[in-house]
Amino acid sequence: MGKKILAVLSVLCLFLVILGCKPKETSKVVASDKTWYLYQDQGENDTVSIKFLKNQQAEVKDVSTINGKVGINRFNSQFNNPQYVLDRDGRTMTFKTAKKSLVIKILKSYSENVYGKHMKGYSVESGGQTYKFAYISKIDKQSNTSNAKKSQSQSIDADQLPDHILDIDSNAKPLAENNAIIGNYNFSTIIDYRRTDGNLTINQSGTYQMTLTEHAAQKLNDKTDSKVVMTTLVENGWVQSLYGKLYLTPKNLLTINYYFHGQNQDRLLPKSINLKVNSKASGNQIDRAKVRIESDSDQLYLFSSDYTVRVKDGQTNTKANLLSKSDNAQTSLKDAITQTKDYHDKYEANALSSNADLMQLVGAISDNNDKKVGSLGVNFGDQYGTNLKPTDYQGISVNGSKQPLMQYMFLVSPSAYSESGPAVSTTKGKFLIYGSLDNKLFLLKQPDKDSTTVTWTLVKDFKLAVPKLKFSLD
């Protein structure tokens, strides 16, 4: 009997030894030579990259996006790379940085395709919030547009930019045998994960103009298109007959970029205008895949390897984007420049007329200030909103008197470093709540966390001024 018990105990001990030898999740993470990214949403804001080094040290860096090369290192108090400690639970790791230790607890496995980057890792908890902690296992081949050479654009005066637009009527060949395609067309496509609305005008003179409105990037299988507008592109050039097919040969490309963090879609704030041209003098600056037009089963299609096809009802060819007749008139390149400039000037003169305007303006200023409002980090990549009433946030001054009501208000999630600061606790989480009065920005603070009393404090050294519109030529 004693021998049987001894045998059972031996097997049990062996089983426990085997279990003990099983690699823990955190051990597998630190043993890899990958660069790991800690992020929320699609990793477009407040992303942390972590590279594990020797001697239980790690390079911890704040970067703007996944795979971002430039960032700010988080050091320890001696300005060295911080040490990391692995908990005995095999799921928790702590990075001993100077300001505040970064603690990451693994919850479950995670994998996702983020704008062509295949991420593999874990869903984790850090600072009371859920994050993604993963490395890049594969990067999809990008379109020719993404692979375009990044040339250094030169700043230019707004009044001089139109002078650099090439005359497309010169040397264009009229469309003699293709009168059927003359007219205006609408189409929908996806360019680098951005849902895009397109409008194409083909003229008898053998010229064309194409306007593309690109929305924020999103997953290909998303059912609803993002409302956030990133860029408007206005391109024109020649319609050329080559190899028995019609091609769109660009001569000018105008790119209008908008501020998108906390964007007010009803009143976009333009950020920059850039002009590229294809000419013998400057070379081919517009580096994109060929775009051609073909007729198929009495339907007109637009083909391009840069464009991911969005199939429409009744479309017979699913390998190209369907062109649908349209009555929409386009704005010329020169008019697009002057109208955008005039619009920006009017915006400067009257920047604030709603909560949404205030949120967009503060978001734009923070974009130009390392994602900070004053000294506090904001996270427009998380939650934000404008559904606030000034009367619901009556501030009380230090002496107990009521403060004036704010005129406009919005809330936004704090960045990781701002969570322990003046964020106000709500049923939806912690938020930084901002208000404006007499063109000055105020932040709502909660003197006592167990009390409903709040007070408005002026955000020092912060000017509610619309950022200048930048003009450049490539």
- Give the pair of three-digit tokens for residue 396: 């009380």
Across the chain, which has 474 residues, the per-10-residue mean pLDDT values are: 49 45 81 92 80 92 80 83 93 91 93 86 87 91 45 78 93 81 94 93 95 91 91 95 84 96 96 91 82 90 92 90 92 95 95 96 92 87 90 91 96 75 77 95 84 87 94 90
Q: What is the DSSP letter of 340?
A: H
pLDDT at 419: 57
Domains defined for the chain, CATH in brackets: 20-139 (2.40.128), 154-345 (no CATH), 350-458 (no CATH)
Whole-number pLDDT of residue 142: 56
Q: Of 175, 210, 211, 212, whose CA–CA distance to 191 is shortest?
A: 212
User: Contact, 208 vs 302, CB < 8 A?
Assistant: no
Which residues, other chains included, contact 100 with Cβ-Cβ below 8 Å and sequence gap of 6+? 417, 420
CA distance 293 to 311: 16
The angle formed by the CA atoms of residues 22, 28 and 33, to the nearest 5 degrees, is 150
SS3 of 355-370: the string is HHHHHHHHHHHHHCCC
pLDDT at 13: 47
Cα–Cα distance measured from residue 74 to residue 102, given in angstroms and rounded to the nearest whole number: 10
Distance from C-alpha of 215 to C-alpha of 310, rounded to nearest angstrom = 14
> Given 3-state DSSP classes, what are the helix, strand and coil percentages for the chain, each rounded to the nearest 5?
15, 40, 45
Tell me, yes or no, if the pTM score tops 0.75. no
Region class of 348: left (phi > 0), else alpha (psi between -120 and 50), else beta? alpha
Residue of 324, 326, 186, 303 lying closest to 246 (CA atoms): 303
Residue with tokens 């934000």, as numbered in its chain? 384
Q: Round to whole Å and give the CA distance between 417 and 430.
A: 13
130's tokens: 């859920």
* 25: helix, strand or coil: helix
- pLDDT at position 105 is 95
Q: Write down how long the chain is.
A: 474
What distance in Å separates the CA atoms of residue 1 and residue 3, rounded to the nearest whole number? 5
Q: Which amino acid is at 439?
A: N
- What is the reported pLDDT for 62? 82
d(C-alpha 106, C-alpha 93), whole Å: 9
From CA 99, how far away is CA 116, in angstroms rounded? 34
Whether residue 249 contacts residue 238, with contact meaning beta carbons closer than 8 Å, is answered with: yes
Planar angle of CA 459, 463, 469, nearest 5 degrees: 140
Nearest of 264, 474, 445 to residue 362 by alpha carbon? 264
Q: Tell me the C-alpha distance between 285 and 276, whole Å.
A: 6
Look at residue 185 in the predicted model and tell me its pLDDT. 96
The answer for residues whose C-beta is within 8 angstroms of residue 67's C-beta and 6 or more apart is 37, 117, 136, 139
- Whole-number pLDDT of residue 249: 92
- Side-chain-side CA neighbours of 190 within 13 Å: the count stands at 19
